Every structure is written in C-alpha cells, then in structure tokens.
Structure 1
Amino acid sequence: MTDPFSPLQLGPITMPNRFIRSGANEMMAHDCMPTRSLLEFHRRLAAGGVGMTTLAYIAVSRDGRTFESQGVMSRDSMPHYRAVTDAAHAEGGRISAQITHAGSFVQHKQLSTRRAMSASGGLDQLGAMMGRFFQHEMTTADMAQVRDEFVAAAKLAREAGFDAVEIHMGHGYLLNQFISPLSNRRKDAYGGTAENRVRFPAEVAAAVKEAVGADMAVLAKINLYDSARGGATVEDAVITAKVLEAAGVDMLVLSGGRNIESPWAIFNSPLPLDDMQALQPGLKSRLQFAMLKALTPRSLRFSEYYFLDAARQVRAAVRCGLGYVGGVISAPAARKIVEEGFDAVVLARALVHDPALINRFREDPQYRSACDACNRCVAAMYTPSGTHCPKTGNALRAEWNRIPAGA
C-alpha cells in the first residue's frame, strides 16, 4: 500500500484515510469536563480531512490527572464528550479517546491519597515540590483497581460515541512508569526484564480489548526509546510491541521521550523553555525549567523522520498495525511512511499549525507544511486559549463553559 488516502481497517472500524491526529494535550478541559473550545478544535480537524482525530489526555480517574482541570472520563462527563464525537462525525471523521493515568506525574494537590502511585516507591520528583516527598509502590490490588478504571473509561468512551481508545503507555505516565527502567525498580513479576516490565500495561490492554474490542479499535501509545541514560531502548520497545500485540491491540502508536527526563526527544527540537516558564510563575516552575534547559542537548535540530530508524525495528518484529509519529510535515513524507510499511501517519504540530493540512495534502501531492517545529504551540498550551499556533494566530476563543449534553 502506497497511498495514505486509502481507507484503513483498524480493528472493527474503517478509517477514511491513514492520517491520525496524534494525542497531544489540548488543555481545553475545565473542571474536568470538555469545553466548547475542545469541541471546535476537533471539529476543525475532522473538517480538515484527518481520518481520525485523537482527543488527548483523558484521565481514567480523578487521581489519574496530571493537571487539576484535566478531563476525566466519568458518568457525568460522558454526555459532554458525546457532543464532541457527534461534531467530528458530522464532518466525516473518526475520533479516538486517549485514556491515561498520571501515576506519580501529578502537578496538583488534589489527590485522594497521601502519596501518588507508581511502579516503585521512593522520592516523588514532582510531588516533592508540593510537599509530597514520596510515592507509593503499587500493590497487585492497586493494579487491579487501575486496570478496572481503564476498562470503565473505555466503556464510557464507547457510550460517548468514540470510535477508538488509545491507551497512553509512553512519555512517563503511569503505564510507562512500569515499562521504563527509569521508574520501575520492582523485584517481583512486574519488574526486572523488559517482558516483566510490560506485564501490567499488557494486562490493562487485554482487559480493555476484551471489554470494547468488538466495537472500538484499541490502540496503545508506546516509547521507541526514553532517550535518557538508564532508560528503555529500542530493543526494549521491540519486546514491548510483541507483548502488546499478543494482548490484542489493533495498533501501536510509536513515540519516544519522557516528560521529566527528556521531553525534547518527543519533539526532536528545543522547547521554548523561557516562554513556558513565564507562563507558569513560581519557584517550582523556575527550578523545573532551569533543569530542563541544562539537560537539553545543544546540538538538537529538527529533522523529518526522526523516529524512523527505531520504528523500522518494531515494524520488522510485529504484524499488528503501527502508527508512525515523528517529523512528517509534507505529502511526500506521508507517502514514504506508508511505503515503508506503516499503517498510519500520526501528526500533531503540523495540524496545530493548520487544521486543514490533510486536505491540502490531498489537493497537492507535493505540499509541505510551513510548520518549523518551533514548539511555541507547547508553550501556548498553558495560555487561556489552550493549544494553538502563535505564528498563524489560529487560537480558538477561550470558551470554558461546559458543552450542553447533546449540543
């Protein structure tokens, strides 16, 4: 298959083309509920031609939030998410719910427990800045509870009209805290080897697949590598991919990097750290961004296909669907990814720059996005308008009121 505009059968659903908007945090939830801005954000992407848009970063429980206002999939929020899916479907697109649990990657004080959960105990790097110095090593009972929360969130997503769920297992969130040796120091069956470290994430994936797989596509986002000393490698990612394929996932979305140790690796270009720090005043923010600035490689420069060599190793090892993330900003690049054997082309920043990008690719086989990977959209995420491209001025009006059910 060489045409990214050909339909894609993904589990029980058919996508109209092979372009997926990556699950990148919109910061357009308020009081843990989706907003009108979030609805319009995804409606524009569907109208712009993307085969499936991913509504990012929905927590499976209130304790699973990273941010205080982050969306939570619940019985109360489900009808409001239904309005978002209805809007995407009206434009002819498919829509996926990225469901996640932060584990110890928590940036608020509203936990119901004294300590945040993680694969292992010890110092809580983020919590220490808020007076929460240690984290809790999850027991098997904790794992069963979180597994059931992912299943419940997937079932509610199905009820809300989503076509797919993407389980976030990358970038340093809870399930990645099990997969990565940077945070998993367990001595039991859930720690040690790469096979053991992916055991709990695979149990979550299998349970979600059993619960909703007949009606929804089930995806998992994983790291190809952590890009940090002592972190997971591409050899680990091959093992992770094989185990998750056996668990029944329909597609793996291949990313990389960790939010604390190596966020630049996610983007393959420097982050606008001064801009980000200015939008988040306070001692905690200054310390966090000073550390990131010191650790960011000075030689870092954006390039197309920056995950491709590692992604090829996973492609050679598994037969399940693979979505390629990383540096696709032109129509020829999208064709190359499909020609390489990847099932879908997954984009984020180029679609923030221009939500109609996929239609432009269809109209002009040589079209190239003007997105220059400056990453100012990452800083803009923390403004009242949420994620947008400051260079194109395409920010949505901040409408934080909840969407009326059925709107």
Structure 2
Amino acid sequence: MKDVFAPAELGPITLRNKVIKAATFEGRTPDALVTDELIEFHREVAAGGVAMTTVAYCAVAPGGRTDRHQIWMRPEAVAGLRKLTDAVHAEGAAVSAQIGHAGPVANAASNRAPALAPSRMFSPLGMRMMKVPDEAEIRELVAAHANAARLAEQSGFDAVEIHFGHNYLVSSFLSPRLNRRTDRYGASTTGRARLAREIACAVREAVGDRLAVIAKLNMEDGVPGGLTVPESVQVAAWLEADGALDALELTAGSSLLNPMLLFHGDAPRREFAKVLPVPARWGFRVVGRAFLKEYPYREAYLLERARQFRRELSMPLILLGGITNLDTMRLAMTEGFDYVAMGRALLREPNLLRRIQSEESTRSACTHCNECMPTIYTGTRCVFRPDQPHEPLQVSPSDLGARVSE
C-alpha cells in the first residue's frame, strides 16, 4: 500500500504527499481578479498540509464564466495570480489552476456574452437561447484553453486542471442528452469526445513538460440520457492513449440538473431559498426538491464508479468524494488510486491534514450538512466556522445553480 504522506510524482512536479485540495469555487473575486481574501483562502489550506491546492475557477474567456465576478485568464490577471502562487509556495505546497469554459452553465445575462451549448437549448440561467458554436468557433475555444494554460504558467502555477465535468462546456459536448450535433463534434461517442481530446492535447502542447496537466472528468452526469460510466471509461481510455494528461480526477453530476450527485449528504434547500428574493424563494420551494436531490452520505461515495476506471486505465487517478479521514485515504491507495482530493472537509478545517498526521485516528468535524453550498454567493465557507463572518446577500434567480459545483 502506498503511504499517503510520502512524496509523489505528478507528471513533471513532485508533491509532498498524495492529498489535493479539490476545486471548490471560492466566491472571493468580485472584480474578476485576485483579492487578498482569495490568497488567504489558499494560503491557509496550503499551511494546513495539503500537497496541492486548486484555484477554482479560471475561465478561458469572459463568456466562459458562470457569472461576471469570476476570474478569466488574461494578462491583467497574472500579477494577482502570481501573488497567490507565491503565497502557496511559501507554505510548501503546489498550486493548480482549474481552467475551462462554463458553456451551458455560463450566465449570459451576467457576463453580457452568449452562453454556449453543443446544440440548440434554452438557458435557465441567462433566460435566453444559447449560442451553438460552429467548427471555426470550436477551434477558437481550443486555442483559448491553450492560452489560459500559458498564462497559468506565467502566473507561477505548478499544474492546470482542465474542467471536463458537471456539464460545463466540454462535459456538455460529452453528454448525449445535450449534444445532438451531426458534425465531427457529435453523432457518436467518438465525435462527442473530440473536443475534450483536442483541448487536452492543445494544453499539453502549450505547457510542454513544465506543468502537470490534469483533467476533471465526469464519470456520469446522473440525468436521463446523460453521459454514463461505460461511455466515460471509453473517453478516459482515449485521453490516456493521447498521452496529454498526467492524471484524471474523477467526478460526477450536473450543475444544470443534478449537482447533489457530486456532493451527497443533506440537500440545503431551505438555506438556498433564504438567499433568494421572495418571488424566486416561493418558486424554489416548488422546484428545489427536484433540483437538489437526496443522496445519503458515506465515505468514498464515488469509489464504486471510480473502480471501473481503475480497472481499465493505467494512468494516475485522483479519487474524489467523501475523503475525510486516514482510513478512507488508505482505502483509496489500496484500491490503486494515486491521489485523493478533499473539498468540504477542508472548508471546515483547513488544518485537518496536519491534525491527521499528528493523530491518525482524527475524524473530520464536517457533518456533510452542505450548508456551505449557498455561501458561494458571499464567499464559500463552512457556516460553523466563527472566524469567517459574512454579510447576507440576496441573489437573482438566474444566479442560482451557476456555481453549485466546480
């Protein structure tokens, strides 16, 4: 069995252990640029002992954001991002930039730019029809991912994580439900996987062997007609054969239709309703149960799906979902996974890993209540941490769900 706390190679970089802070949208960039609050968020997690923290989310284009407050990768963002990476490195950790395009999850009204989808569909976020990119525009999107990776390198990042999950743009192309194209980017699993493969190769060409390149891949969408595990395994096999990626982080769920498949635990419907204006609050009470489904929490809740990828692939894999204690981390290593990723448990206790290293029987204080989810609008945090005060904020109905999962 691999030692969770032994150094590990991830492509061209060496990590001090095998625990990664998963991408969880931070809600700390009101002007779409790095703030001191964002830097402290990641510095604190790095000081807590993780091998690498992930900045989420760095859009490859202004229209690729879930709303206008998110960072998008441009020269003006580099100086702030460099301050962030320097702060993380000073704590002995590596840092990754999650890059991608939100696609159908983008809020066109907020961004003042069209949301993109592989096929014609209505946006419940922007309340308008989405734009379907042609092949020339798809080539521009591929180039935008490569450019974002180059800017990440200039900013001092050690790795980039390409977002292929949660029905963001690439994930929507992978979905049979959302992708009804008949050209080279649709019509079959091969066609629907083409965009993911082209982006991965373009990012690798942009950064060479200087940065690690990871992709966050949906194992399944969890919606009727969506991407299924067998199809996703085939996509993963093609990505492995292309040789552009150093690891896959395995995820699940749809920010548009089924975000709770990623999270499991309590569905915070009442807490989400509280941040909405009154008319939308009433509507959410009607649709909230369908949007935020119930999935009982258990440790390593995505493991059964992930095993199917481990059996078919030889490349490094990152297990996500219900990783909160050393026993579960060791289970992941025993099952053949190379790294584990933690999210909510580190919102509750950024120093959790240090505590586990000091006392192996340590258990996370996270109760999986998921009340952190509605805080994405005011700065993502655990509501049970008294050291993180906040001002209440009402949000528009079009914002709901846009950032629910990164």
What TM-score does the superposition give when structure 1 sets the normalisation length?
0.92
The alpha carbon displacement at 1:353 in A equals: 0.6
Deviations 1:29-85 (A, max 9, x none): 121101111000100111000000001111111111111211111100111000000
1:387 is aligned to 380
The number of equivalent residue pairs is 390
2:195 is aligned to 200
The alpha carbon displacement at 1:181 in A equals: 1.5
1:351 is aligned to 346
Distance 1:51 1:289 in 2: 41
What letter matches 2:124 in structure 1? Q
Q: Which runs of 5+ in 2 are unaligned?
A: 392-406
Q: How does 1:76-225 map to 2 (within 5 A)?
A: 76-111=76-111, 113=113, 115-128=114-127, 132=128, 134-225=129-220
Distance 2:233 2:191 in 1: 14
The alpha carbon displacement at 1:106 in A equals: 2.1
The alpha carbon displacement at 1:7 in A equals: 1.2
What letter matches 2:287 in structure 1? M
Contact 1:82 1:161 in 2 (8 A): yes
The one of 252, 261, 264 equivalent to 2:248 is 252
Distance 1:167 1:101 in 2: 9
Contact 2:13 2:212 in 1 (8 A): yes
Q: How does 1:248-327 map to 2 (within 5 A)?
A: 248-281=244-277, 283=279, 287=283, 290-298=286-294, 300-327=295-322
What letter matches 2:356 in structure 1? F
Distance 2:158 2:51 in 1: 11
SS in 1 for 2:215: strand
What letter matches 2:209 in structure 1? A
SS in 2 for 1:381: helix
Distance 2:156 2:300 in 1: 33
What letter matches 2:247 in structure 1? M
SS in 2 for 1:389: coil
- Are 2:37 and 1:54 aligned? no
Contact 1:195 1:239 in 2 (8 A): no
The alpha carbon displacement at 1:320 in A equals: 1.3
Q: 1:104 to 1:240 in 2, by over 3 A?
A: same
SS in 1 for 2:42: helix
Contact 1:387 1:395 in 2 (8 A): no
The alpha carbon displacement at 1:110 in A equals: 4.5
What letter matches 2:236 in structure 1? A
Contact 1:195 1:243 in 2 (8 A): no
Distance 1:242 1:286 in 2: 45
2:7 is aligned to 7
2:403 is aligned to none
The alpha carbon displacement at 1:169 in A equals: 0.7
The alpha carbon displacement at 1:357 in A equals: 0.8
2:335 is aligned to 340
Distance 1:86 1:396 in 2: 26
The alpha carbon displacement at 1:288 in A equals: 5.3
Distance 1:171 1:201 in 2: 14
Contact 1:31 1:70 in 2 (8 A): yes
Contact 1:11 1:213 in 2 (8 A): no
Distance 2:65 2:7 in 1: 34
Distance 1:288 1:200 in 2: 34
Distance 1:79 1:286 in 2: 43
SS in 2 for 1:266: helix
The alpha carbon displacement at 1:289 in A equals: 6.2
1:404 is aligned to none
SS in 1 for 2:305: helix
- Are 2:21 and 1:21 aligned? yes
Identity of aligned residues (%): 38
1:405 is aligned to none
Distance 1:110 1:38 in 2: 21
Contact 1:178 1:191 in 2 (8 A): yes
2:325 is aligned to 330
What letter matches 1:371 in structure 2? C
What letter matches 1:149 in structure 2? A
1:402 is aligned to none
What letter matches 1:63 in structure 2? G
What letter matches 2:123 in structure 1? D
Distance 1:304 1:327 in 2: 4
The more displaced of 352-361 and 189-198 is 189-198
Distance 2:198 2:188 in 1: 16
SS in 2 for 1:310: helix
Distance 2:206 2:117 in 1: 25
Distance 2:386 2:194 in 1: 44
Q: 1:302 to 1:119 in 2, by over 3 A?
A: same
The alpha carbon displacement at 1:111 in A equals: 4.3
What TM-score does the superposition give when structure 2 sets the normalisation length?
0.92
Contact 2:67 2:110 in 1 (8 A): no
CA RMSD of aligned residues (A): 1.7
What letter matches 2:265 in structure 1? S
